[in-house]
Amino acid sequence: MLLNSFRRRACVALVMVGLASRGAFGVDVWMTTGDKSQLLAQRPDVVFQPGLGSGGTVISVNPQTKYQTIAGYGAAMTDSAAWLLQNRMNGSQREKLMRQLFSAADGIGLNYVRVPMGASDFTASGFYSYNDNPPGGADPLQEHFSVAHDEAYVIPRLQEARQLNGDLKLMAAPWSAPAWMKTNQSLLGGSLTASLEESYAIYLAKFIKAYEAGGLPIDAITLQNEPLHTSNYPTMSMSATQQISLIKNHVGPRFASEGITTKIVAYDHNWDNTAFPLQVLADADARQFIAGTAFHAYAGNVTAQSTVHNAYPEKDIYFTEITGGDWAPNFADNVVWNFRNIIIGGARNWSKSAILWNLALDENNGPHQGGCADCRGVVTVDSQTGEVTYNEEFYTLGQVTKGVDANAVRISSPTTSQLETVAFLNPDGSQSLIALNPNAASTTIRVYQNGEHFNYQIPGKSVATFRWDAQGADFDNGGFDDGAFHLGGGSLDAWTSFGNIVGNVRVASEAVFEGEKSLKLSGQFSGMPNESGVFQGVTVVTGEYVHASLSQFVRATEGLEDSDNVVQVKIEFYNEYGAARGSGHFLGGLTATIADAATPSEAWGSTELGGVAPPGSVEARLVIQFLQPSGQEGSVYVDSVVFGVTELPGDFDHNGRVDGSDLLAWRQAFGVDASADADGDGDSDGSDFLLWQRYSNAATQNFARLAVPEPPLSPIVWAAGAMLRWLTRTFE
């Protein structure tokens, strides 16, 4: 089948969606192994292959079943972490580390950071709040409130992080109210004086506004870190009863009256106590102001999150704190625990975030004032040299953020004792799967989706992140790199170039259909004959239908008029994967001209090509080539390429054949539903019958004739397509 037309840009996106192939999805892979031989290492891409496949543990990913939206992943910018970044690293060291932490392009792209409000145990400058020692000993209206302490190094580091990652969100949590507001007149221990609950609401509101004035909006806030714990550093006990009173009588109404949209999150303590958050949520007057609840992992089980979710499914679940430490020195065991409990377990139990504790600590697990003396940071900064050690917590977060973007949605995937998994659908349409092998022996995962699969071996006590995108290649996804072979793109990301690749095959930006780049094929400037281009193959079996589509453009200043130059797209079939072009393994193919002397300039055209793999086929190869028989020049731009194995038109019962049973399926669907919709127009009608008729018994056709393009579709089908395109333009 060959379709070649020129159309307006506004019409193409709709049509392309209907034609997108389900095959040849390139899968990006990152791996962290328990033996440290691979640390957030990007591995060579794998490609989805047709069929169910065999071997390994089958993991079926279903993007149609959706769960919670992900807020993000990160750690806490404690006073200690910010102080180290500011005072124990030189400018170049700090810039490099900040990029490693927050840039999605150059690092792991952390996008959710927790900010202690005032001092915690991890402070380099003593204990403090934002309103210490006011004149007269009290300041109920918080007139002397100030974040001046944070302006020295906490706020600058957060501003830098936000510049590196525009998706960065902040969650704030106080460890203690100012001492004068507490029952024991101390930052250490005690509780909030009941008569100052309104003053505390003002305190929280002023913090949010002060940070927002510095370009740091606060996404969410908890009323008290670990409300059931007091210690020898700033802490404050808060009962569920007092939290209810604060939320419904003070914080909620004040935020509403001042137009503060920061989410109010309850609890913020361990998994071992669900009674506290359930009691708070049970109060309807408080619940109306509450976005969700937050959990820590120092006691209890992650399933506590589901207990609370099941009781109040409309409320979000956040995971906000856990730390590694000297008590857990085994890298492999830490990787397994982190993914089993925090990343995979957390998400499967409804958490929309995973925030670890200190972003950075020094070689002595500090600086700190009391509290934890053996906690480990996500990274360790040498206080003498500024050198950085990346700990298992860094690789844990990186394995997630490589596959999961902000505002991703968790989707369905199974989990087993051999492989624990969680899957996500990103806002850009890509999907990701995180798979943990918690056992000592290596195991094979077989990922299955939409009739296709790939197999991958995961070593013992290791984790793999897979990410794939079912869309076409737009040549700015890393899939094509100035004639080179490149693995880091997405679907269709393994192009090989041939011919004169120095000047005739390159990435360009002068004419782009979507994204930022296109493929430019040019004539030989020296005036010599030339044949050059790119190709890429996918695995096929006999009888499968292979489809390709692309968009092409000729600039007026680089046209092919008055020349015999021709640009072609081909689908070539081979009985050996990777065989040399033109070798004895070539079985035949299809060819379409996408540009020649008659091609109009300054208009994007579209070309489609499809046919059935002949007997013995192992590989279907897409070739885009510029043929220059003599000395004329000219160029063509190619973009939005889609290629792979798709369902044969007319195969209404989805059994891989077009035969009488499909005619019966069409008769049953005619005028009723779209189950026999072969032409993508949204219903089952006469044009679908014509496509069935065309492809009926295609598996037994004369495969020799595949060496030339198939004739165009019947006038009726052309007319139906033209009407659809006209309606699209008219009613867009």
Residue 661: what are its φ and ψ, rounded to 5°? -65, -30
- CATH assignment of the domain containing 417: 2.60.40.1180
Please report, for the domain that includes residue 13, its CATH number.
Answer: 2.60.120.260
Instruction: Please tell me the total count of domains within the chain.
Output: 4
Average pLDDT over residues 54-75: 96
**According to the model, what pLDDT value does residue 664 have?**
85
From 598, 617, 646, the end of a domain falls on 646
Say if residue 453 is in the same domain as residue 484. no
Query: 397 near 74, Cβ under 8 Å?
Result: yes
The pLDDT of residue 564 is 86
Say yes or no: 458 and 496 in one domain. Answer: no
DSSP per residue, 709-728: PPPPPPHHHHHHHHHHHHHH
Residue 85 counted as domain residue: yes
Sheet bearing 62-69, strands edge to edge: 41-47, 26-32, 462-468, 431-437, 420-425, 409-412, 62-69
Task: State residue 681's pLDDT score.
Answer: 66
- 54 part of a folded domain: yes
* pLDDT of res. 12: 22
The pLDDT assigned to 18 comes to: 23
Q: What is the mean pLDDT of the chain?
A: 86
pLDDT of residue 118: 98
Whether residue 402 lies inside any domain: the answer is no
Lateral strand order in the sheet of 49-50: 49-50, 452-458, 443-449, 57-60
pLDDT over 90, % of the chain: 61
Amino acid 489: pLDDT: 38
Claim to verify: residue 680 and residue 638 sit in the same structural domain: no
CA dihedral 665, 668, 669, 672 (to 10 degrees): -170
Percent of the residues in the chain that have a pLDDT greater than 70, as a whole number: 85
Tell me the CATH number at 171. 3.20.20.80
pTM flag (> 0.85): no
**Would you say residue 396 lies in a domain?**
no
- Domain identity same for 426 and 496: no
CA dist., res. 143 & res. 135, Å (int): 10
Residues 726 and 613 in one domain: no
**Residue 98 covered by a domain:** yes
Are 458 and 421 spatial neighbours (Cβ–Cβ below 8 Å)?
Answer: no
The answer to whether position 429 is within a domain reads yes
Residue ranges of the alpha helices (H) in 383-498?
Answer: 392-401
Residue 128 sits in the same domain as residue 192? yes
Which residues, in sequence order, are CB contacts of 251 under 8 Å at separation 6+? 200, 201, 204, 223, 264, 289
646, 673, 693 - which closes a domain? 646
Summarised one tens digit per residue, pLDDT across range 523-535 is 865 566 778 888 8
User: Is the model more confident about 25 or about 63?
Assistant: 63
CA–CA distance, 550 with 474 (Å, rounded to integer): 10
Of 699 and 621, the structure prediction assigns the larger pLDDT to 621
Q: Is the pLDDT of residue 665 over 90?
A: no
The helix (H) or strand (E) run that includes residue 564 is none
Highest mean pLDDT pick, 12-26, 299-313, 563-577: 299-313
Check pLDDT > 90 for residue 243.
Answer: yes
654 part of a folded domain:
no
**Amino acid letter, 389:** T
Please tell me whether residues 456 and 382 are part of one structural domain: no
Would you state the pLDDT for residue 57? Answer: 95
- Confidence at residue 654, expressed as pLDDT on a 0 to 100 scale: 63
Could you say which of 439, 468, 497 is where a domain stops?
A: 468
Parent domain of 503? 2-21+472-646
In a domain, 653, yes or no: no
Q: Are residues 511 and 561 in the same domain?
A: yes
Residues 632 and 602 in one domain: yes
Q: Are residues 162 and 242 in the same domain?
A: yes
Q: What is the pLDDT of residue 528?
A: 67
Per-residue pLDDT at 16: 24
439 lies in the same domain as 557: no
3-state secondary structure of 153: coil
What integer pLDDT is reported at residue 655 of this predicted model?
61
The residue type found at 58 is V
Same domain, 173 and 276: yes
CA–CA distances in Å: residue 530 to residues 289, 336, 497, 524 = 69, 55, 14, 6
Q: What is the pLDDT of residues 441-459, one digit of tens each?
A: 999 999 998 888 999 999 9
- C-alpha–C-alpha distance, residues 132 and 120, integer Å: 15
